[in-house]
Structure 1
Protein backbone atom coordinates (compact mmCIF):
# COMPACT_ATOMS: atom_id res chain seq x y z
CA UNK A 1 0.00 0.00 0.00
CA UNK A 2 1.13 3.57 -0.64
CA UNK A 3 0.76 6.28 1.98
CA UNK A 4 1.30 10.02 1.47
CA UNK A 5 1.97 12.51 4.25
CA UNK A 6 3.24 16.05 4.64
CA UNK A 7 4.32 18.07 7.67
CA UNK A 8 6.26 21.23 8.40
CA UNK A 9 9.01 22.09 10.85
CA UNK A 10 9.82 25.66 11.99
CA UNK A 11 13.44 25.76 10.76
CA UNK A 12 15.03 26.45 7.34
CA UNK A 13 15.81 23.60 4.95
CA UNK A 14 19.49 23.94 5.75
CA UNK A 15 18.77 22.95 9.36
CA UNK A 16 15.99 20.45 8.73
CA UNK A 17 18.00 18.38 6.23
CA UNK A 18 20.89 17.33 8.53
CA UNK A 19 18.43 16.89 11.42
CA UNK A 20 16.42 14.26 9.53
CA UNK A 21 19.63 12.42 8.71
CA UNK A 22 20.64 12.40 12.38
CA UNK A 23 19.07 9.04 13.19
CA UNK A 24 20.05 9.00 16.86
CA UNK A 25 18.39 12.39 17.29
CA UNK A 26 15.09 11.64 15.56
CA UNK A 27 14.66 7.98 16.60
CA UNK A 28 13.11 8.89 19.99
CA UNK A 29 10.34 10.67 18.05
CA UNK A 30 9.34 7.34 16.45
CA UNK A 31 7.12 5.31 18.83
CA UNK A 32 8.47 1.83 19.51
CA UNK A 33 11.75 2.36 17.62
CA UNK A 34 15.19 1.58 19.01
CA UNK A 35 18.46 2.16 17.14
CA UNK A 36 21.23 -0.35 17.81
CA UNK A 37 23.80 0.74 15.24
CA UNK A 38 24.16 3.41 12.55
CA UNK A 39 27.16 3.89 10.26
CA UNK A 40 25.88 6.89 8.32
CA UNK A 41 24.05 4.80 5.71
CA UNK A 42 22.65 1.66 7.30
CA UNK A 43 20.54 1.58 10.46
CA UNK A 44 20.17 -1.60 12.51
CA UNK A 45 17.46 -1.69 15.12
CA UNK A 46 14.02 -2.84 16.18
CA UNK A 47 10.43 -1.67 16.35
CA UNK A 48 7.89 -2.90 18.91
CA UNK A 49 4.23 -2.94 17.88
CA UNK A 50 1.36 -3.69 20.27
CA UNK A 51 -1.90 -5.13 18.92
CA UNK A 52 -4.30 -5.42 21.85
CA UNK A 53 -2.66 -7.72 24.43
CA UNK A 54 -0.05 -8.98 21.94
CA UNK A 55 3.31 -7.24 21.43
CA UNK A 56 5.23 -7.93 18.23
CA UNK A 57 8.90 -7.00 17.81
CA UNK A 58 10.42 -6.49 14.37
CA UNK A 59 14.19 -6.52 13.97
CA UNK A 60 15.86 -5.44 10.77
CA UNK A 61 17.75 -2.79 8.88
CA UNK A 62 17.09 0.46 7.05
CA UNK A 63 19.40 1.67 4.29
CA UNK A 64 19.64 5.16 2.81
CA UNK A 65 19.64 4.39 -0.91
CA UNK A 66 19.65 8.07 -1.81
CA UNK A 67 20.75 11.25 -0.04
CA UNK A 68 20.61 14.12 -2.54
CA UNK A 69 21.59 17.17 -0.54
CA UNK A 70 21.23 19.56 -3.51
CA UNK A 71 17.63 18.46 -4.16
CA UNK A 72 16.95 17.78 -0.46
CA UNK A 73 15.62 14.33 -1.33
CA UNK A 74 16.25 11.08 0.50
CA UNK A 75 15.15 7.48 -0.05
CA UNK A 76 15.17 4.99 2.82
CA UNK A 77 14.46 1.27 2.36
CA UNK A 78 13.62 -0.59 5.57
CA UNK A 79 12.83 -4.25 6.13
CA UNK A 80 12.24 -6.31 9.24
CA UNK A 81 10.96 -9.64 10.49
CA UNK A 82 9.14 -10.67 13.65
CA UNK A 83 11.48 -12.04 16.29
CA UNK A 84 8.80 -14.56 17.29
CA UNK A 85 6.70 -15.26 14.26
CA UNK A 86 6.57 -15.26 10.48
CA UNK A 87 5.36 -11.68 9.99
CA UNK A 88 7.40 -9.24 7.93
CA UNK A 89 7.42 -5.53 7.20
CA UNK A 90 9.03 -3.65 4.34
CA UNK A 91 8.86 0.04 3.52
CA UNK A 92 10.39 2.35 0.95
CA UNK A 93 10.23 5.90 2.27
CA UNK A 94 10.88 8.86 -0.02
CA UNK A 95 11.14 12.29 1.60
CA UNK A 96 11.52 15.66 -0.12
CA UNK A 97 12.16 18.92 1.70
CA UNK A 98 11.01 22.31 0.40
CA UNK A 99 11.47 25.75 1.91
CA UNK A 100 8.18 27.35 2.99
CA UNK A 101 8.05 30.81 4.59
CA UNK A 102 10.39 30.56 7.57
CA UNK A 103 10.14 26.78 7.82
CA UNK A 104 10.44 23.56 5.84
CA UNK A 105 7.72 21.41 4.30
CA UNK A 106 8.52 17.70 4.34
CA UNK A 107 6.65 15.49 1.86
CA UNK A 108 6.83 11.77 2.65
CA UNK A 109 5.69 8.93 0.39
CA UNK A 110 5.74 5.43 1.89
CA UNK A 111 5.34 2.19 -0.03
CA UNK A 112 4.47 -0.25 2.77
CA UNK A 113 4.04 -4.02 2.83
CA UNK A 114 3.09 -5.77 6.08
CA UNK A 115 2.31 -9.41 6.81
CA UNK A 116 1.32 -11.04 10.09
CA UNK A 117 -0.89 -9.75 12.89
CA UNK A 118 -0.68 -5.97 12.22
CA UNK A 119 -1.85 -6.61 8.64
CA UNK A 120 -5.32 -7.58 9.95
CA UNK A 121 -6.26 -3.90 10.25
CA UNK A 122 -6.23 -3.27 6.50
CA UNK A 123 -5.21 -0.24 4.47
CA UNK A 124 -7.74 2.24 5.87
CA UNK A 125 -6.77 1.76 9.50
CA UNK A 126 -3.04 1.64 8.76
CA UNK A 127 -3.39 4.92 6.84
CA UNK A 128 -5.14 6.47 9.85
CA UNK A 129 -2.40 5.17 12.15
CA UNK A 130 0.18 6.64 9.77
CA UNK A 131 -1.50 10.05 9.88
CA UNK A 132 -1.45 10.11 13.67
CA UNK A 133 2.14 8.90 13.92
CA UNK A 134 3.42 11.42 11.38
CA UNK A 135 1.64 14.18 13.29
CA UNK A 136 3.25 13.04 16.56
CA UNK A 137 6.64 12.73 14.87
CA UNK A 138 6.37 16.23 13.38
CA UNK A 139 5.48 17.77 16.76
CA UNK A 140 8.33 15.93 18.49
CA UNK A 141 10.84 16.86 15.76
CA UNK A 142 9.79 20.51 15.79
CA UNK A 143 10.30 20.63 19.55
CA UNK A 144 13.74 19.04 19.29
CA UNK A 145 14.82 21.40 16.52
CA UNK A 146 13.78 24.55 18.38
CA UNK A 147 14.83 23.70 21.94
CA UNK A 148 18.34 24.68 23.10
CA UNK A 149 20.96 21.97 23.30
CA UNK A 150 21.08 20.44 26.80
CA UNK A 151 24.07 21.43 28.89
CA UNK A 152 26.43 18.59 29.66
CA UNK A 153 27.05 18.00 33.35
CA UNK A 154 30.12 16.43 34.84
CA UNK A 155 29.34 13.25 36.74
CA UNK A 156 31.43 11.36 39.25
CA UNK A 157 33.25 8.39 37.78
CA UNK A 158 30.91 5.75 39.26
CA UNK A 159 27.74 7.51 38.06
CA UNK A 160 29.12 7.98 34.55
CA UNK A 161 30.14 4.31 34.37
CA UNK A 162 26.70 3.16 35.58
CA UNK A 163 24.93 5.36 33.01
CA UNK A 164 27.09 4.03 30.19
CA UNK A 165 26.53 0.42 31.30
CA UNK A 166 22.75 0.83 31.56
CA UNK A 167 22.48 1.94 27.93
CA UNK A 168 19.43 3.63 26.35
CA UNK A 169 16.01 3.20 27.91
CA UNK A 170 13.77 0.54 26.39
CA UNK A 171 11.17 2.24 24.15
CA UNK A 172 7.46 1.77 24.77
CA UNK A 173 5.80 -0.33 22.04
CA UNK A 174 3.69 1.36 19.39
CA UNK A 175 0.07 0.67 20.39
CA UNK A 176 -1.85 0.30 17.12
CA UNK A 177 -5.28 0.34 18.77
CA UNK A 178 -4.46 3.52 20.67
CA UNK A 179 -2.88 5.17 17.63
CA UNK A 180 -5.81 4.27 15.40
CA UNK A 181 -8.29 5.96 17.73
CA UNK A 182 -11.52 5.06 19.50
CA UNK A 183 -13.54 3.76 16.48
CA UNK A 184 -10.98 1.04 15.78
CA UNK A 185 -10.73 0.19 19.45
CA UNK A 186 -14.51 -0.19 19.56
CA UNK A 187 -14.45 -2.47 16.52
CA UNK A 188 -11.71 -4.53 18.12
CA UNK A 189 -13.66 -4.71 21.39
CA UNK A 190 -16.79 -5.75 19.49
CA UNK A 191 -14.83 -8.46 17.71
CA UNK A 192 -13.38 -9.67 21.00
CA UNK A 193 -16.87 -9.77 22.54
CA UNK A 194 -18.21 -11.71 19.56
CA UNK A 195 -15.37 -14.23 19.81
CA UNK A 196 -15.96 -14.58 23.54
CA UNK A 197 -19.67 -15.18 22.96
CA UNK A 198 -18.87 -17.75 20.28
CA UNK A 199 -16.48 -19.50 22.64
CA UNK A 200 -19.18 -19.68 25.35
CA UNK A 201 -21.67 -21.17 22.87
CA UNK A 202 -19.15 -23.78 21.70
CA UNK A 203 -18.32 -24.75 25.29
CA UNK A 204 -22.02 -25.11 26.15
CA UNK A 205 -22.62 -27.30 23.10
CA UNK A 206 -19.69 -29.49 24.08
CA UNK A 207 -20.99 -29.82 27.63
CA UNK A 208 -24.46 -30.77 26.37
CA UNK A 209 -22.94 -33.29 24.00
CA UNK A 210 -20.88 -34.82 26.81
CA UNK A 211 -23.95 -34.90 29.05
CA UNK A 212 -25.97 -36.74 26.40
CA UNK A 213 -23.19 -39.26 25.89
CA UNK A 214 -23.04 -39.79 29.66
CA UNK A 215 -26.80 -40.49 29.83
CA UNK A 216 -26.62 -42.97 26.95
CA UNK A 217 -23.83 -44.91 28.63
CA UNK A 218 -25.96 -45.21 31.77
Structure 2
Protein backbone atom coordinates (compact mmCIF):
# COMPACT_ATOMS: atom_id res chain seq x y z
CA UNK A 1 0.00 0.00 0.00
CA UNK A 2 1.01 3.58 -0.58
CA UNK A 3 1.01 6.28 2.09
CA UNK A 4 1.69 9.99 1.82
CA UNK A 5 2.50 12.38 4.66
CA UNK A 6 3.65 15.97 5.00
CA UNK A 7 5.00 17.93 7.95
CA UNK A 8 7.09 21.01 8.65
CA UNK A 9 10.06 21.74 10.91
CA UNK A 10 11.04 25.24 12.11
CA UNK A 11 14.52 25.44 10.58
CA UNK A 12 15.79 26.27 7.05
CA UNK A 13 16.10 23.40 4.60
CA UNK A 14 19.92 23.53 4.69
CA UNK A 15 19.75 22.66 8.40
CA UNK A 16 16.90 20.16 8.17
CA UNK A 17 18.60 18.13 5.40
CA UNK A 18 21.69 17.01 7.38
CA UNK A 19 19.55 16.52 10.49
CA UNK A 20 17.31 13.98 8.73
CA UNK A 21 20.39 12.10 7.53
CA UNK A 22 21.80 11.94 11.07
CA UNK A 23 20.28 8.53 11.72
CA UNK A 24 21.56 8.06 15.28
CA UNK A 25 20.12 11.43 16.20
CA UNK A 26 16.64 11.00 14.70
CA UNK A 27 16.18 7.28 15.60
CA UNK A 28 14.91 8.08 19.13
CA UNK A 29 12.02 9.93 17.45
CA UNK A 30 10.85 6.61 15.93
CA UNK A 31 9.00 4.45 18.52
CA UNK A 32 10.48 0.96 18.90
CA UNK A 33 13.48 1.60 16.63
CA UNK A 34 17.05 0.65 17.53
CA UNK A 35 20.03 1.51 15.31
CA UNK A 36 22.85 -1.02 15.60
CA UNK A 37 25.11 0.20 12.83
CA UNK A 38 25.22 2.97 10.23
CA UNK A 39 28.01 3.52 7.69
CA UNK A 40 26.56 6.58 5.97
CA UNK A 41 24.52 4.56 3.48
CA UNK A 42 23.25 1.38 5.13
CA UNK A 43 21.41 1.20 8.45
CA UNK A 44 21.20 -2.06 10.39
CA UNK A 45 18.81 -2.33 13.29
CA UNK A 46 15.47 -3.51 14.61
CA UNK A 47 11.94 -2.33 15.27
CA UNK A 48 9.63 -3.73 17.94
CA UNK A 49 5.87 -3.61 17.37
CA UNK A 50 3.36 -4.49 20.10
CA UNK A 51 0.09 -5.97 18.83
CA UNK A 52 -2.18 -6.41 21.84
CA UNK A 53 -0.38 -8.83 24.21
CA UNK A 54 2.12 -9.91 21.52
CA UNK A 55 5.40 -8.10 20.74
CA UNK A 56 6.87 -8.63 17.27
CA UNK A 57 10.50 -7.75 16.53
CA UNK A 58 11.64 -7.03 12.99
CA UNK A 59 15.34 -7.09 12.20
CA UNK A 60 16.72 -5.83 8.93
CA UNK A 61 18.46 -3.13 6.96
CA UNK A 62 17.67 0.16 5.28
CA UNK A 63 19.74 1.47 2.38
CA UNK A 64 19.86 5.04 1.08
CA UNK A 65 19.44 4.47 -2.65
CA UNK A 66 19.50 8.20 -3.31
CA UNK A 67 20.76 11.27 -1.42
CA UNK A 68 20.45 14.27 -3.74
CA UNK A 69 21.57 17.23 -1.66
CA UNK A 70 20.99 19.80 -4.41
CA UNK A 71 17.36 18.70 -4.86
CA UNK A 72 16.97 17.81 -1.18
CA UNK A 73 15.55 14.43 -2.16
CA UNK A 74 16.27 11.04 -0.63
CA UNK A 75 15.13 7.49 -1.29
CA UNK A 76 15.39 4.83 1.41
CA UNK A 77 14.72 1.12 0.80
CA UNK A 78 14.10 -0.89 3.97
CA UNK A 79 13.34 -4.56 4.60
CA UNK A 80 13.00 -6.66 7.71
CA UNK A 81 11.80 -10.03 8.97
CA UNK A 82 10.27 -11.18 12.22
CA UNK A 83 12.84 -12.72 14.53
CA UNK A 84 10.29 -15.31 15.73
CA UNK A 85 7.93 -15.74 12.85
CA UNK A 86 7.45 -15.63 9.11
CA UNK A 87 6.21 -12.04 8.86
CA UNK A 88 8.07 -9.51 6.73
CA UNK A 89 8.04 -5.76 6.17
CA UNK A 90 9.34 -3.87 3.14
CA UNK A 91 9.17 -0.18 2.43
CA UNK A 92 10.51 2.29 -0.09
CA UNK A 93 10.45 5.79 1.37
CA UNK A 94 10.91 8.88 -0.80
CA UNK A 95 11.39 12.18 1.02
CA UNK A 96 11.55 15.66 -0.45
CA UNK A 97 12.41 18.86 1.44
CA UNK A 98 11.54 22.41 0.38
CA UNK A 99 11.61 25.90 1.89
CA UNK A 100 8.36 26.94 3.53
CA UNK A 101 7.72 30.20 5.43
CA UNK A 102 11.23 30.32 6.84
CA UNK A 103 11.14 26.64 7.79
CA UNK A 104 11.16 23.35 5.90
CA UNK A 105 8.28 21.38 4.42
CA UNK A 106 8.91 17.63 4.29
CA UNK A 107 6.92 15.43 1.91
CA UNK A 108 7.16 11.67 2.48
CA UNK A 109 5.84 8.98 0.13
CA UNK A 110 5.95 5.40 1.40
CA UNK A 111 5.33 2.20 -0.57
CA UNK A 112 4.75 -0.34 2.21
CA UNK A 113 4.24 -4.11 2.22
CA UNK A 114 3.64 -5.96 5.51
CA UNK A 115 2.91 -9.64 6.15
CA UNK A 116 2.29 -11.42 9.43
CA UNK A 117 0.34 -10.30 12.49
CA UNK A 118 0.39 -6.50 11.98
CA UNK A 119 -1.00 -7.01 8.47
CA UNK A 120 -4.28 -8.36 9.89
CA UNK A 121 -5.47 -4.82 10.68
CA UNK A 122 -5.61 -3.77 7.04
CA UNK A 123 -4.79 -0.59 5.19
CA UNK A 124 -7.15 1.69 7.11
CA UNK A 125 -5.68 0.98 10.53
CA UNK A 126 -2.08 1.04 9.30
CA UNK A 127 -2.72 4.36 7.54
CA UNK A 128 -4.07 5.88 10.78
CA UNK A 129 -1.09 4.53 12.69
CA UNK A 130 1.19 6.05 10.05
CA UNK A 131 -0.50 9.44 10.40
CA UNK A 132 -0.02 9.46 14.16
CA UNK A 133 3.58 8.23 13.96
CA UNK A 134 4.53 10.93 11.45
CA UNK A 135 2.95 13.53 13.71
CA UNK A 136 4.93 12.27 16.70
CA UNK A 137 8.13 12.11 14.66
CA UNK A 138 7.68 15.65 13.34
CA UNK A 139 7.11 17.04 16.85
CA UNK A 140 10.13 15.19 18.23
CA UNK A 141 12.37 16.28 15.34
CA UNK A 142 11.24 19.92 15.62
CA UNK A 143 12.02 19.89 19.33
CA UNK A 144 15.50 18.50 18.77
CA UNK A 145 16.28 20.97 16.00
CA UNK A 146 15.00 23.89 18.09
CA UNK A 147 17.14 22.81 21.06
CA UNK A 148 20.26 22.80 18.86
CA UNK A 149 19.35 26.18 17.34
CA UNK A 150 18.89 27.69 20.81
CA UNK A 151 22.26 26.36 21.90
CA UNK A 152 20.74 23.73 24.16
CA UNK A 153 22.71 20.61 24.90
CA UNK A 154 21.41 17.34 23.61
CA UNK A 155 21.27 14.29 25.88
CA UNK A 156 24.67 12.81 26.65
CA UNK A 157 25.68 9.63 24.89
CA UNK A 158 26.54 6.33 26.49
CA UNK A 159 24.31 3.43 27.45
CA UNK A 160 20.66 4.19 26.68
CA UNK A 161 17.62 2.26 27.80
CA UNK A 162 16.01 0.08 25.18
CA UNK A 163 13.09 1.99 23.68
CA UNK A 164 9.51 0.95 24.28
CA UNK A 165 7.99 -1.05 21.42
CA UNK A 166 5.60 0.65 19.04
CA UNK A 167 2.18 -0.09 20.53
CA UNK A 168 0.00 -0.49 17.46
CA UNK A 169 -3.36 -0.29 19.23
CA UNK A 170 -2.41 2.58 21.55
CA UNK A 171 -0.93 4.54 18.65
CA UNK A 172 -4.00 3.95 16.49
CA UNK A 173 -6.24 5.47 19.17
CA UNK A 174 -9.46 4.30 20.89
CA UNK A 175 -11.75 4.30 17.82
CA UNK A 176 -9.41 2.02 15.87
CA UNK A 177 -8.72 -0.08 18.95
CA UNK A 178 -12.46 -0.67 19.35
CA UNK A 179 -12.77 -1.74 15.71
CA UNK A 180 -9.85 -4.13 16.14
CA UNK A 181 -11.34 -5.48 19.38
CA UNK A 182 -14.69 -6.09 17.64
CA UNK A 183 -12.95 -7.82 14.74
CA UNK A 184 -10.97 -9.96 17.18
CA UNK A 185 -14.15 -10.84 19.09
CA UNK A 186 -15.91 -11.77 15.85
CA UNK A 187 -12.95 -13.92 14.81
CA UNK A 188 -12.93 -15.60 18.22
CA UNK A 189 -16.67 -16.25 18.01
CA UNK A 190 -16.28 -17.73 14.53
CA UNK A 191 -13.40 -19.93 15.70
CA UNK A 192 -15.49 -21.10 18.67
CA UNK A 193 -18.46 -21.87 16.41
CA UNK A 194 -16.30 -23.83 13.97
CA UNK A 195 -14.75 -25.77 16.86
CA UNK A 196 -18.17 -26.58 18.27
CA UNK A 197 -19.38 -27.67 14.82
CA UNK A 198 -16.38 -29.97 14.36
CA UNK A 199 -17.00 -31.52 17.77
CA UNK A 200 -20.67 -32.01 16.91
CA UNK A 201 -19.74 -33.66 13.63
CA UNK A 202 -17.32 -36.01 15.42
CA UNK A 203 -20.05 -36.89 17.93
CA UNK A 204 -22.52 -37.57 15.09
CA UNK A 205 -20.01 -39.81 13.30
CA UNK A 206 -19.29 -41.73 16.52
CA UNK A 207 -23.00 -42.22 17.18
CA UNK A 208 -23.61 -43.46 13.64
CA UNK A 209 -20.73 -45.93 13.92
CA UNK A 210 -22.11 -47.28 17.20
CA UNK A 211 -25.61 -47.71 15.70
CA UNK A 212 -24.15 -49.48 12.68
CA UNK A 213 -22.12 -51.81 14.93
CA UNK A 214 -25.19 -52.85 16.97
CA UNK A 215 -27.28 -53.78 13.92
Mind listing any 5+ residue stretches in structure 2 that lack a counterpart?
211-215
Give the superposition deviation at 1:67: 0.7
Report the counterpart of residue 152 of structure 2 in structure 1: 149
Secondary structure, aligned partner of 2:182: helix
* Equivalent-residue separation in structure 2 for 1:152 and 1:206 (angstroms): 60
1:168 counterpart = 2:171 = no
Residue deviations 1:100-150 (CA, integer Å, cap 9, x gap): 111000000001111111111111111111111001100000000001432
Report 1:93-108 matches (<5 A): 93-108=93-108
* Equivalent-residue separation in structure 1 for 2:155 and 2:113 (angstroms): 42
Secondary structure, aligned partner of 2:11: coil
Secondary structure, aligned partner of 1:62: strand
Secondary structure, aligned partner of 1:124: helix
Give the superposition deviation at 1:171: 1.0
* TM-score with structure 1 setting the length: 0.84
How many residue pairs get matched? 205
Do the aligned partners of residues 47 and 193 (structure 1) sit closer, same or farther apart at CA in structure 2, a change above 3 Å counting? same
Give the superposition deviation at 1:64: 0.7
* Equivalent-residue separation in structure 2 for 1:69 and 1:198 (angstroms): 54
Higher mean C-alpha displacement, 136-145 vs 187-196: 187-196
Give the superposition deviation at 1:198: 5.2
Give the superposition deviation at 1:203: 6.2
Residue deviations 1:13-64 (CA, integer Å, cap 9, x gap): 0110000000011000001100001111110000001111111000000111
Do the aligned partners of residues 200 and 89 (structure 1) sit closer, same or farther apart at CA in structure 2, a change above 3 Å counting? closer
* Equivalent-residue separation in structure 1 for 2:119 and 2:125 (angstroms): 10
After the TM superposition, which segments of 4 or more aligned residues of structure 1 sit over 4 Å from their partners?
195-207
* Equivalent-residue separation in structure 2 for 1:74 and 1:151 (angstroms): 26
- The root-mean-square deviation of aligned C-alpha atoms, in Å, is 2.6
* Equivalent-residue separation in structure 2 for 1:5 and 1:197 (angstroms): 37
Give the superposition deviation at 1:93: 0.5
Report 1:51-90 matches (<5 A): 51-90=51-90
Do the aligned partners of residues 16 and 193 (structure 1) sit closer, same or farther apart at CA in structure 2, a change above 3 Å counting? same
* Equivalent-residue separation in structure 1 for 2:133 and 2:155 (angstroms): 31
Do the aligned partners of residues 199 and 65 (structure 1) sit closer, same or farther apart at CA in structure 2, a change above 3 Å counting? closer
* Equivalent-residue separation in structure 2 for 1:9 and 1:60 (angstroms): 28
* TM-score with structure 2 setting the length: 0.85
* Equivalent-residue separation in structure 2 for 1:191 and 1:90 (angstroms): 25
Report the counterpart of residue 160 of structure 1 in structure 2: none
> Pick from 183, 186, 200: which aligns with 1:191?
183
* Equivalent-residue separation in structure 1 for 2:37 and 2:152 (angstroms): 23
Give the superposition deviation at 1:152: 8.2
